[in-house]
Amino acid sequence: MRMRQLSISAIFFLLIATVALAQSQTIAERLGYPQGSKLLIIHADDLAEAHSEDVASFDALDQNAVSSASIMVPCPWLTEVADYAKAHPDADLGLHLTLTSEWKTYRWGPVESKDKVPSLLDPSGYLWPDTPQAMRAEKADEVEREIRAQIERAKAMGIHPTHLDSHMATLFSRPDLFAVYVKVAHEYKLPFLAFLAPSAPRELTSVLSPNDVLVDSVLIANPSVLPSGWKDFYANAIKNLKPGLTELIVHLGHDDDEMRAVMVDHADYGAAWRQRDYDVVTSPEFKKLLEENHAILIRWKDLAKLLK
């Protein structure tokens, strides 16, 4: 679990919007909003990981409690998500490109044939359980092969992805993996989650295009947030929104037998955690907070229009 915390924490050290590629107009202005608008994507991670995860996330999407979500293509409940995507063609569903399999007794492997991506496999034949291990072992050409396979699998099942992001931030962990991520996103003409520190090395920033849409900040609960302070964490996040584009990442699910079995021995990002996230974002109080703080909910589909 410590490694998972490290991988999540890596987001905050690697990723904040780069000023170097800022355009003359703000993203808000390009979307038709006033310059100082607070644009917010409320984004549910990890669809297809479990039925409970899907049910909670579908409900939040249907309520407009979240504006976006992303799918883990290697996971067992992909068919259920594909059915939802086909029944809800307007839903904002991206791909949570997956190169790790973090749970103790519930694992998954790659979409690509294992013999074509051997560096992605741990000794048990599944994807590596945490980002540091994956970062040390995975070869960039095999990573590219796998993420292309994930995109093609999703498309073959009738999913039309609206964007790309990275499960456990693995694709942000090395410059060559980040370059593969950006290259594939460009080829598929999809926006992608990226937020590089102003001090990021040129080997990272050089792969970006002036047309890429980068978020200004990402908000996510972390293991230091106590259950008793859950509502306060999210309330403060909304009250302190800055002008620009923010993505708030949540992990939704129900604290039921399935989720507890999937996430056994994982308090962080586990079943109870996901129930708390679901309870907060679907609550009337949270909706009122968004209104009172003038947050404008947008989707990755909106950002995709800027690529055209």
Domain housing 274: 2-98+149-306
- Examine residue 109 and state whether it is found in any structural domain, yes or no: no
For the purposes of burial, counting CB atoms within 10 Å of the CB of 66, is it exposed (0-12), middle (13-18) or buried (19 or more)? buried
Distance of alpha carbon 60 from alpha carbon 282, whole angstroms: 6
- Examine residue 25 and state whether it is found in any structural domain, yes or no: yes
Residues of the chain under the 50 pLDDT cut: 1-3, 5-23
Distance of alpha carbon 264 from alpha carbon 103, whole angstroms: 8
CATH of the domain at 67: 3.20.20.370
pLDDT of residue 216: 93
Torsion angle defined by CA atoms of residues 102, 106, 107 and 111, in that order, rounded to the nearest 10 degrees: -110
- Examine residue 112 and state whether it is found in any structural domain, yes or no: no
Distance of alpha carbon 121 from alpha carbon 119, whole angstroms: 6
- Examine residue 63 and state whether it is found in any structural domain, yes or no: yes
- Examine residue 202 and state whether it is found in any structural domain, yes or no: yes
Q: Which residue is it, tokens 């990402």?
A: 218
**Cβ contact 127:91 at 8 Å:** no
pLDDT of residue 12: 37
Domain count, the chain: 1
Assigned token pair, 118: 């051997």
Distance of alpha carbon 121 from alpha carbon 1, whole angstroms: 19
pLDDT of residue 204: 77
Assigned token pair, 126: 């599944």
pLDDT of residue 7: 47
- Examine residue 127 and state whether it is found in any structural domain, yes or no: no
pLDDT, tens digit (0-9, with 9 covering 90-100), for 77-88: 999 999 999 999
